[in-house]
Amino acid sequence: MSARRFAASLAAAAAVAGASTVPAAAQVAVRGRLIHTMAGTPIADGVVVVTDGRIAAVGPAATTPVPEGYRVIEAAVVTPGLIDARSVVGLSGLLNQKQDQDQLERSAPLQPELRALDAYNPLDPLVAWVRGFGVTTLHTGHAPGETVSGQTMIVRTAGRTADAALVREPAAVSVSLGPTATKNEGKSPGTRGKQAALLRAELVRAREYRDKLRAAAPGARPERNLRLEALARALDGELPLLVYAHRAQDIATALRIAREFEVRVWLEGAAESYLLLPEIAAAGVPVIVHPTMARAWGELENATFETPAALRRAGIPVAFQSGYESYVPKTRVVLFEASAAVAHGLAPDDALAMLTIDAARILGIADRTGSLEPGKDADLALYDGDPLEYTSHCTGVLVQGEPFLEGR
């Protein structure tokens, strides 16, 4: 591609990122030949009525009236908007250049105070690109790579500012266990033991800081410490530790630390989780599984296409993620990762649940999204066929009722 054509494509993508066909508060009805509500049996020849950004009614077209004056959008298949349960989109941008790569700060191993909100760019063309496949919600933020790399947040794939796109912030504290966060040339942490010790020590300091805050008399509170405040929230159960760990030994360390400090943990990646299914299930820890088609090398050398199905059979809550890729366009697409899992033993209905309602439950936003039910935000994905078939296309999405019909 020539430099001129590349620049033109970026300009077009940027325009799409901020464009919509009608105002956000428009009154819309989406009619589908098949509607997967994820709250019951799929509806053949159904309709979803959207009023002021929320779902007003869902049901068969024959018995669900569309109010006069509502715009009607047709689709072959309608699903809840897809949820990417772990991404760095918006911090990692399309250009793969220094100015749009804010997903990882390498200056220190412990940085829980870094807020994803301050680094997120909702107008990066990559946000519109994933939206074009049906993704309406992103759990995004600081990437794995340091023992504690920063915070994550949950956003919609629409909105001109980070605050306008925001669903929840912070959502979790990103932790990495294993070789992705160890250092060379005598830098710390150089081993797994040092890595775990750094994390434990910081959690101990955070607990002491929290206890001092609670015990302090008015006017005698200790000086604010943003780093310890973030971890104190994890100790109080407000935030989970999102632990990136692939090797079974690192997953076991994550579970051990969760027990020691009584903190919530979400496992991220977990390539060898199939070796510890009873332990993960007993701990009640959900897994945001590595991209199904992630390259099996390094700490993912024992990864298998069948892990999502194995986790599901074990009764472990699981969701799909796009993760982080070091090459353009810097992200995978959860829809394709789910489709690959279906080809390797995962039931299609389970895959769709893991892209929608199950992801919403893990992330704690199922009261707002993940299924098509009256009262919930109107986040919908529209397809011209079975969304898990590679030959199907996303023909558009609604994000809180706002239609984006560019599709892909």
pTM above 0.85, yes or no: yes
pLDDT of residue 328: 65
Model pLDDT, residue 4: 40
Q: What is the 3-state secondary structure (H, E, C) of the chain?
A: CCHHHHHHHHHHHHHHHHCCCCCCCCCEEEEEEEECCCCCCCEEEEEEEEECCEEEEEEECCCCCCCCCCEEEEEEEEEECEEEEEECECCECCCCCHHHECCCCCCCCECCCCCHHHCCCCCCHHHHHHHCCCEEEEEEECCCCCCEEEEEEEEECCCCCHHHHEEEEEEEEEEECCHHHCCCCCCCCCCHHHHHHHHHHHHHHHHHHHHHHHHCCCCCCCCCCHHHHHHHHHHCCCCCEEEEECCHHHHHHHHHHHHHHCCCEEEEECCCHHHHHHHHHHHCCCEEECCCCCCCCHHHCCCCCCHHHHHHHCCCCEEECCECCCCCCCCCCHHHHHHHHHCCCCCHHHHHHHHCHHHHHHHCCCCCCCCCCCCCECCEEEECCCCCCCCCCEEEEEECCEEECCCC
pLDDT computed for residue 406 by the predictor: 66
pLDDT of residue 10: 43
Determine the pLDDT at residue 210.
96
- Report mean pLDDT in 10-residue bins for the chain, 408 residues: 40 43 69 98 98 97 97 98 98 90 96 98 96 98 97 98 98 97 94 98 98 90 94 98 98 98 98 98 98 94 98 98 80 96 98 98 98 98 97 97 80
Spell out the domain ranges in the chain.
1-80+370-408, 82-367
* Class level of CATH domain 82-367: alpha beta
Q: Which CATH number fits domain 1-80+370-408: 3.40.50.10490, 2.40.50.140, 2.30.40.10, 3.30.499.10?
A: 2.30.40.10
Res 185: pLDDT: 87
